[in-house]
Amino acid sequence: MKFKDKAVIVTGAGSGNGRSIALRFMEEGAKVVVADLNLNGANETISLAGEGSTAIAVKADVTNKAEVEAMVAAAVEAFGTLDILVNNAGIVAFTEFLELSEEEWDKVHNVNLKAPFLCSQAAAKAMISNETKGRIVNITSVEAHRIVSSSGHCQPHYNSSKGGLNLLTKAVALELAPYGITVNAVAPGVVETPFTAGGLKNPEVREWVLDRIPVGRIASPFDIANAVLFLASQESEYITGSTVFVDGGWTIH
């Protein structure tokens, strides 16, 4: 078990990619804080884990500094340390630029960019305090690097929030390198999740997506999880400030 007894926090782990990431860590022996705003979803994730898995569910609004600090404290209290943070929690909203409200802009940036800042800062302080050569992995998106739209409309608030997260990844990686903490990102393409299920049921949308994926299939959440586990592993200790694209070749198409 590659992550036996490692203490991990995965945010947004009550469904989708976050759920698969948390389950993969548990499969590899990690002790996992399954954090989500939806506590029922977090508990459901834990219920899907294999026998003998160790995990706790924590309800946390990751845009709130006090709740983030409580989440990190819960991990340290339960497991004695914190080795890995996965900033997975994120939201997307499909609103055209000319109709985009200030409130929606702020909400998307708070979850997608402010939250990883808050979580990474709190986690890094815990790692440094415990002299842990930790790992931080951020979930960005191919849409941080190119505009993706099957409708002709863009998502400027989502694009900019994920683009900002890419630069945050690099900046924090540089600052935390002297402590032996690496900071990297995974940029998924289109993934089969409950969130994308509605759109992908439309044959025209599915065909549009598949036409842009050279490997010929849409990702599963476990494709994303496997990349995260690599960046959190000992084998990746010389990689920091990097982004791994898990998109089936979308960005080279």
Q: Which residues are catalytic?
A: 158
Distance between CA atoms of 170 and 44, rounded to whole angstroms?
Answer: 34
* Beta-bridge mates of residue 86: 10, 137
Q: Other CB atoms closer than 10 Å to residue 98's CB: what's the count?
A: 6
Pairing verdict, β 84-87 and 135-139: parallel
Distance between CA atoms of 131 and 237, rounded to whole angstroms?
Answer: 16
Query: Are the C-beta atoms of 108 and 160 separated by less than 8 Å?
Result: no
Please name which of 75, 36, 90 lies closest in space to residue 59, comparing C-alpha atoms.
36
Find the angle CA(160)-CA(162)-CA(166) to the nearest 5 degrees: 110
Enter the tokens of residue 222.
Answer: 């476990």
Collapse the DSSP code of 194 into the 3-class scheme (helix H, G, I; strand E, B; otherwise coil) and give the result: helix
Find the angle CA(137)-CA(138)-CA(139) to the nearest 5 degrees: 125
Through-space distance between the first and last CA atoms of the chain, rounded to whole angstroms: 36
